[in-house]
Structure 1
Amino acid sequence: MKGYWHFTALAVVISIITLFFNNYWFMVGFILWLYYLYYSERLRKAPLITSLASLLFFLLYIPAIGFDHANEDTLPSLGPLTGMIVSSLDSKEQKIDFIFQEELSQQKILVIHFPKKEEKQLPLKNNADIKYGARCIINGKIEKPDQNRNPGQFNYHKYLLTKGITHQLILYSLDDIHCEGSTFLNRFYNMRSDLLTYVAANVSEETSAWMNALVLGDDSQIGEDTIELFRRWNLSHLLAISGLHVGLIVALIYFLLIKLKLLTKEKAQWIMILFLPVYALIAGGEPSVWRASSMVLLFIFLSKIKFLLSVTDILSIVFISLIIIDANIVYHIGFQLSFSVTFGLLLSKKWISSSSSSLVQVLQISFVSQMMILPLQFAYFWAFQPLSILLNLLIVPYFSIIVIPLLFILLLLLFLPIPLFLINVFDMLFVSIHYHVLTFVATMDAYFYYPWIIGVFPIIFTVVYYSLLFIFMKRLEENKLKEAFKYGVVITIAIIYVAARPYLSPIGTVTMLDIGQGDAFVIELPYRRGVIFVDAGASFAFDDMEPSEKVYKQVIKPFLYSKGISKIDAIFLSHEDIDHVGSLSFMVEDIEVEQIILSNYYDFSEDDAKKWNRKNVNIQNVMQNEEIIVGGQSFYVVAPFRDNDSPNENSLVLFTLLGGKSWLFTGDIGKGTENEILDVYPNLTVDVLKVAHHGSNTSTDLGFIKQMNPDFALISVGVNNSYGHPTREVLETLEALNVKILRTDQDGAVLYRFKEDQGTFYKYLP
């Protein structure tokens, strides 16, 4: 098998892809390719049989993630449960959590505890018995984690399933858990916790945050703004310990031990064999750390027994071994990114090494890395920043040459008997330099952030992309630059086509997003002639009544990005209530908004006007009976008729024709305004009615519904909301007239997909 392990690894990859997409054509194509290589005498029998066996084995071994797990309902809704803690304790001021494996069913449960005020002072002291490997009895509320209720929204349920976790348990009090014992591994987790605490106590807050992140694998101290900034510029790999970090640490230790003649090479290798597994555990045990550490360990071990394998073989063996140890690791984004980049760099090593310039090599490495993860970038984030390749060229060497070595040396100095001022000098030096670098990245973000927002990258284009990329890299390696350029052009055209698909599609949609107790409707016109919002609500806290950005970040923005939407042509605002307009300010700040349309009676503040003007948003006031055209789509203003001295009664009521159906968006109008609409428009009927005021009994009068005669009623309402919406009275009115009711609390997002004059409603939740 020497020299052929990559075929076995590729067989495992095909098994993973087959499971991911539930498409067995990948297997068929791979098997045919293997037999072609075998009959053309380019592949021997041993790797052929091993590859086919691995294909079948891992197809059965790797769990398929979905919501049809029969054993998910075998647990009771309440404890007590008996079992073992199978993870380290993640203890923070706001939350404590760990993974617990129930004894009878062997199911993994995420246990979560939100400390009370008296517990927040010393949360770790209160949990001295909660250790890795401890046997425990737990009482608490057992529940299934929430799944996503909107397209593009993060699916927390599926995320936990990828870790083998089927349920979560809310631990209301620490008195409800009783544990005893632990395992040997708990010592390493305690060591990690002690190190994190020790670092935080002995260096500045800024240095502590970055040292704990880059050396010990805990980025919880780094601000959310910085993490988001690095994500936007594809620099997130620098915040997680990876092969780069492990390689630098190994090189540094070798330098200290061998070049300074502290140990012989033989003894230094044994030190590394002992050190790397311990460091992988202390650094958080992320897949990228284990991948790099395992490769170094395997290299050292094989060199000791005089058995040499290629780097590709070693990478393949490590890849297979990690999956055998933990089958769920294939769903970890760090695992996918780490091996994709490493594999790409291995394939490109001849091209990279052909250059004598270190600067050019760094640019080549950055280019290959970004190109290898491009489909994954779109799959997880739907966006890519092309200039990130150049920024990586500047920032990666800075982290490689300065930050990581400096922080690792500083960590070692903390345990040596040296003067405190020397540590302070290192500390201040790092803080000063790092501040200017972060400021530079933030400045780039402010002036040069122009991402490609493409949305979903279809699997067929992923296959085409990687096929073209490998040919492109092969031509570069062979120095056939003209041919490489042609394939590069084809790759670019393929990406442009994926990005342009919405502009070529005759399909339009209307989506009632599930934002809880609030309204947010998104209209996508065919051929992307326009993207239009009718309201964009937000949640809020009752203590200060300020809108939260939660709805925008977790629902609206992911939905837009998943659709490849980077610009909103118009936002209709019905009235001033936060549950209808609370996300507007976040949208205007973060995405291009062409115009905001509101009634003459909408009362917006001077600060709002300044913000909208600063972002070059056109403000259009409209009146009853006026027609507004956006992207060729007409909207007619039905109400308000006058200033009613009430935001709800002043709601902007819109009528439009979409997908062969007539629609009426009613905001939060009451029965009084409904009756006025009947008087002014006695012949008005609609096919789809947005039920006013979330189904409150202040609206949806029987006479109004009789005249409108809708086939469908859309109710945007929160699950188990405190208002009791929609009321039984409203539901009975609609049901009595045989109106089909679609509501976000039961159906999640509701989508109407149409082509010309034909369309169909779909519920996001099954």
Structure 2
Amino acid sequence: MRDGRLTLITAIGALLICGWFWHCRQSEQRLTLPDQANATMLLVIQPDEFRIEKGQIQFRGHLSDGRVIQGQYFSKEKENLQRFKFDKTTSVLVTGELGRPLPATNAAEFDYRRYLAKNGVYNTIKVTKLVLKAPVRTLNPFQWWQNKCHELRAQWVTATMQLPATLRLYVQGLFLGWRADDFYETLHAVTDLGLIHLFSISGFHVSWLVNVLSKGLIRLRLTQWIIAWIMLMILPSYFILAGAAPSLFRAVAAAMFGFLVHLLGWRVSSLSLWSFSLIAGLVVYPAILTQFGGQLSYGLAFALLFVGQFKPIKQAILLNLISLPIILYHVYQWHVLTLFVNLLILPIFSVCVFPIVLLAGLLGHSLTGLASAVDGLLNWLTELLNQLAALPGMVVFGQPPIVAVMGLIILTIVLMAQRIKWWSGICLVMMYVTCYGLIHYPTSGEVTFFDIGQGDSFLVTSPRHREITMIDTGGRVNFGGQAVTGRSKALKVSVNYLKSQGIDHIDQLLLSHQDSDHVGDITDVLQNLHVKRLYVPLGMMDNPRFVKRIEADLKNTQVISVKAGDHVSGTNLTVVHPMQAGEGTNEDSMVLHGAYGGRKWLFTGDLDRAGERAILTQFPSLTTDVLKLGHHGSKTSSDPGVLLKLQPQLAIISAGRDNRYGHPNQETMTTLSKQQIPFLSTQTSGMIRYRYTKSGKNQWQTFLKEK
């Protein structure tokens, strides 16, 4: 800042980068194609961007004008999908529904539309017909080189499929930047213990490979000048071979700048090399600093410039401190063993795991004994990590505000720059404690209706989190005997949201009845959050199918069966249905009535009209301000006479977009219109939240702002 000329150059450079970022954001509309129901287009697809897994094809293709399209193709004939497999850059004719990916519709939900847009993808296509045309031939040498790199990567990924399971995951993750569908299921400790950076190819991998190759070339008695030229040719190819991730770009760019300045004989500091890689990264990937991987990659590389003079343990502590605010903002939790495990594992990976995995990956097909032995060692290491991750110590911190994240990062840098002064350390600790307190003890409570598609899942909390109640978990309906795959809506939406609010437990989990769209995700909720009490309608625990589904996860959970007139302990909720024991069907739905934030609420499950009339017979003075319409707005519920007696000021509809049942039914909508009852629907509003405080400052919020 003391150098006026340098400050001016920096300011101009920053303005240019901001202008470039703005230009790229504005070009999103120009690059987005209009929705089309029966679109046909010819795409050029690289073989390593065409995946056949679990009865579906996923791909990323390029139009002739440079637009990138993300595609998906489902087929009932799973065994015939392999006929579409190809190993050359190929033109493919696809027909299907062209549109935009759905944005996040809940707070704290992963925004797939924004993620794709940051990577230059603005359209998706649900393919109904797919025809392979012919391998692509090009006279452009740059494009030919790119195609060959993609083809080689696809061949290597295919070759690794023949390796033993765990060895395959390590080879693909450490050297090819490939994530198999079972990666996180097998290596869940990688994320729990903060080791995902080892499998996200970046500076650690590039430095290791450059070091190994350089030593090998030195042994061949090549000069440093020749080695630098060889590396400048190898690194761009490795960038594509390793998956071309934005976070990898930083490491490759920094290494290439280092070799280039060596050839030119310039004396450039490490900070300047980092700066060159940042500028290059922002030019090629303008949104790189808005992504989790980009933030960690550039943040940790920047921190390394400060901590080089410290001992390894102090280095590890400071590097963990610089990454912690970023991790908490994106993941919401942190394991206390993360620092210890990183100190233990990093040397093991550098000295042992990398070399033996690379060796077994190259020779495993011919030396099956070697592959089996290495696979056994990796299984042992993976099991050790999984056991460490299972130990107590996972702290659900919650999502700190972005301003607090920036403050924590700046304070950590000050701590490093000041050579660990006591006052900066105290300020850092106080800021973490303050953030934790504000997240875990909020002044407001809420009643939240999650948008989980076709199903129900609601959250009720009180100020200071004295009460945390969930009503139903949602779940996916299994149509035609097809297996339900992928992460559940509960993990993507409700569990994720709770953790973002600093919540690691549920005081009361209330299940209205046993249908999959209401309780299908209960296993994920029980496994990821401590549930103190589980309430079910009377008679539902006599259903052996339901009991079998949950009994393995009921470790420290008290199960309570309730009927009309019972009070739900620790809440303002009273059960008003069922009147007698049932089997957990729609007609047996648990219906709850309670007061929160100056309003009376009625949650009706999938109760039919006869059940609604029975409630008014037993509770003739019952009224409500907010009514969750029964059975997702079906005409089998919402009896006009019952609505007239309840006199709700607002109706809430929880239903999936374009669902096959036609919910909400037009008859129900006509009833609401005749009785002048306004409504909100998760179909158009996304997550619906009512926040209230003791002082009466209450507010309705909808996540989507349509209409």
TM-score (norm: length of structure 2): 0.91
Are 1:369 and 2:319 counterparts? Answer: yes
1:617 aligned residue: 557
Give the Cα–Cα distance (whole angstroms) in 2 for the partners of residues 530 and 747 of structure 1: 26
Map 1:564-579 → 2, pairs under 5 A: 564-579=502-517
1:79 aligned residue: 39
Give the Cα–Cα distance (whole angstroms) in 2 for the partners of residues 644 and 266 of structure 1: 82
Are the counterparts in 1 of residues 446 and 690 from structure 2 also a CA contact under 8 Å? yes
- Output the amino acid matched with 1:437: L
Q: CA offsets, 1:443-471, max 9 Å, x none?
A: 112223x3222222212212321222122
2:121 is aligned, of 165, 176, 179, to 165
Are 1:273 and 2:232 counterparts? Answer: yes
- Output the amino acid matched with 1:375: P
SS at match of 2:472: strand
Structure 2 stretches lacking a partner, 5+ long: none
1:56 is aligned, of 5, 8, 15, to 15
1:650 aligned residue: 588
SS at match of 1:514: coil
2:195 aligned residue: 235
Map 1:591-630 → 2, pairs under 5 A: 591-603=529-541, 604-605=543-544, 606-607=547-548, 610-611=551-552, 613=554, 615-630=555-570
Give the Cα–Cα distance (whole angstroms) in 1 for the partners of residues 362 and 472 of structure 2: 56
- Output the amino acid matched with 1:611: A
Are 1:399 and 2:349 counterparts? Answer: yes
CA shift for structure 1 position 64: 7.9
1:320 aligned residue: 279
1:337 aligned residue: 296
CA shift for structure 1 position 337: 1.2
Are the counterparts in 2 of residues 65 and 162 from structure 1 also a CA contact under 8 Å? no
Relative to structure 1, the CA distance from residue 552 to residue 277 in structure 2 (aligned partners, 3 Å threshold; closer, same or farther) is same
Map 1:120-519 → 2, pairs under 5 A: 120-125=81-86, 128=88, 130=90, 139-175=95-131, 180-182=136-138, 183-184=143-144, 185-201=146-162, 203-220=163-180, 223-258=183-218, 260-350=219-309, 352=310, 355=311, 361=312, 363-410=313-360, 420=366, 423-424=367-368, 426-448=370-392, 450-475=393-418, 477=419, 483-484=421-422, 486-519=423-456
Relative to structure 1, the CA distance from residue 281 to residue 677 in structure 2 (aligned partners, 3 Å threshold; closer, same or farther) is closer
Are 1:526 and 2:463 counterparts? Answer: yes
CA shift for structure 1 position 169: 2.0
- Output the amino acid matched with 1:444: L
Give the Cα–Cα distance (whole angstroms) in 1 for the partners of residues 475 and 391 of structure 2: 28
1:7 aligned residue: none
Once structures 1 and 2 are overlaid, which stretch shifts more, 383-392 or 642-651?
642-651
Give the Cα–Cα distance (whole angstroms) in 2 for the partners of residues 112 and 610 of structure 1: 37
Are 1:110 and 2:70 counterparts? Answer: yes
SS at match of 1:705: helix
SS at match of 1:694: helix
Give the Cα–Cα distance (whole angstroms) in 2 for the partners of residues 168 and 693 of structure 1: 32
1:687 is aligned, of 603, 625, 646, to 625
2:597 aligned residue: 659
- Output the amino acid matched with 1:97: F
Are the counterparts in 2 of residues 109 and 167 from structure 1 also a CA contact under 8 Å? yes
- Output the amino acid matched with 1:393: L
Structure 1 stretches lacking a partner, 5+ long: 1-36, 356-360
1:535 is aligned, of 454, 465, 472, to 472
SS at match of 1:746: helix
Give the Cα–Cα distance (whole angstroms) in 2 for the partners of residues 600 and 412 of structure 1: 61
Are the counterparts in 1 of residues 326 and 405 from structure 2 also a CA contact under 8 Å? no
CA shift for structure 1 position 178: 7.0
Relative to structure 1, the CA distance from residue 179 to residue 763 in structure 2 (aligned partners, 3 Å threshold; closer, same or farther) is farther
- Output the amino acid matched with 2:679: I
Give the Cα–Cα distance (whole angstroms) in 1 for the partners of residues 658 and 26 of structure 2: 23
Give the Cα–Cα distance (whole angstroms) in 1 for the partners of residues 73 and 703 of structure 2: 31
Are the counterparts in 2 of residues 100 and 110 from structure 1 also a CA contact under 8 Å? no
CA shift for structure 1 position 129: 5.5
Give the Cα–Cα distance (whole angstroms) in 2 for the partners of residues 99 and 162 of structure 1: 16
- Output the amino acid matched with 2:236: P
Are the counterparts in 1 of residues 89 and 151 from structure 2 also a CA contact under 8 Å? no
SS at match of 1:574: coil
Give the Cα–Cα distance (whole angstroms) in 2 for the partners of residues 616 and 545 of structure 1: 33
- Output the amino acid matched with 2:154: S
Give the Cα–Cα distance (whole angstroms) in 2 for the partners of residues 546 and 211 of structure 1: 29
- Output the amino acid matched with 1:456: Q
Give the Cα–Cα distance (whole angstroms) in 2 for the partners of residues 463 and 277 of structure 1: 33
Are the counterparts in 2 of residues 520 and 536 from structure 1 also a CA contact under 8 Å? yes
- Output the amino acid matched with 1:709: Q
Relative to structure 1, the CA distance from residue 707 to residue 758 in structure 2 (aligned partners, 3 Å threshold; closer, same or farther) is farther
CA shift for structure 1 position 101: 3.7
Give the Cα–Cα distance (whole angstroms) in 2 for the partners of residues 649 and 384 of structure 1: 43
Give the Cα–Cα distance (whole angstroms) in 1 for the partners of residues 26 and 107 of structure 2: 16
Relative to structure 1, the CA distance from residue 373 to residue 90 in structure 2 (aligned partners, 3 Å threshold; closer, same or farther) is farther
CA shift for structure 1 position 504: 3.8
CA shift for structure 1 position 270: 2.7
Give the Cα–Cα distance (whole angstroms) in 2 for the partners of residues 473 and 616 of structure 1: 44
Relative to structure 1, the CA distance from residue 737 to residue 72 in structure 2 (aligned partners, 3 Å threshold; closer, same or farther) is farther
2:649 aligned residue: 711
Give the Cα–Cα distance (whole angstroms) in 1 for the partners of residues 362 and 213 of structure 2: 11
Give the Cα–Cα distance (whole angstroms) in 1 for the partners of residues 70 and 290 of structure 2: 18
Give the Cα–Cα distance (whole angstroms) in 1 for the partners of residues 582 and 88 of structure 2: 62
Are the counterparts in 2 of residues 137 and 179 from structure 1 also a CA contact under 8 Å? no
TM-score (norm: length of structure 1): 0.84
1:6 aligned residue: none
SS at match of 1:171: strand
Give the Cα–Cα distance (whole angstroms) in 1 for the partners of residues 368 and 79 of structure 2: 35
Once structures 1 and 2 are overlaid, which stretch shifts more, 542-551 or 225-234?
542-551
Q: CA offsets, 1:89-145, max 9 Å, x none?
A: 333343141232463xx54322334465464234333x75626xxxx7654321111
Give the Cα–Cα distance (whole angstroms) in 2 for the partners of residues 179 and 249 of structure 1: 32
SS at match of 2:476: coil
- Output the amino acid matched with 2:684: Q
Map 1:726-737 → 2, pairs under 5 A: 726-737=664-675
Are the counterparts in 1 of residues 522 and 550 from structure 2 also a CA contact under 8 Å? no
2:60 aligned residue: 98
Give the Cα–Cα distance (whole angstroms) in 1 for the partners of residues 184 and 437 of structure 2: 32
Relative to structure 1, the CA distance from residue 740 to residue 443 in structure 2 (aligned partners, 3 Å threshold; closer, same or farther) is same
Give the Cα–Cα distance (whole angstroms) in 1 for the partners of residues 71 and 567 of structure 2: 55
1:33 aligned residue: none
- Output the amino acid matched with 1:195: W
Are the counterparts in 2 of residues 219 and 239 from structure 1 also a CA contact under 8 Å? no
Q: CA offsets, 1:28-78, max 9 Å, x none?
A: xxxxxxxxx3xxxx2232x12211111211111014898995436653514
Give the Cα–Cα distance (whole angstroms) in 1 for the partners of residues 435 and 480 of structure 2: 46
Give the Cα–Cα distance (whole angstroms) in 2 for the partners of residues 593 and 67 of structure 1: 46
Q: CA offsets, 1:642-661, max 9 Å, x none?
A: 23667222222211111110
Relative to structure 1, the CA distance from residue 171 to residue 235 in structure 2 (aligned partners, 3 Å threshold; closer, same or farther) is same
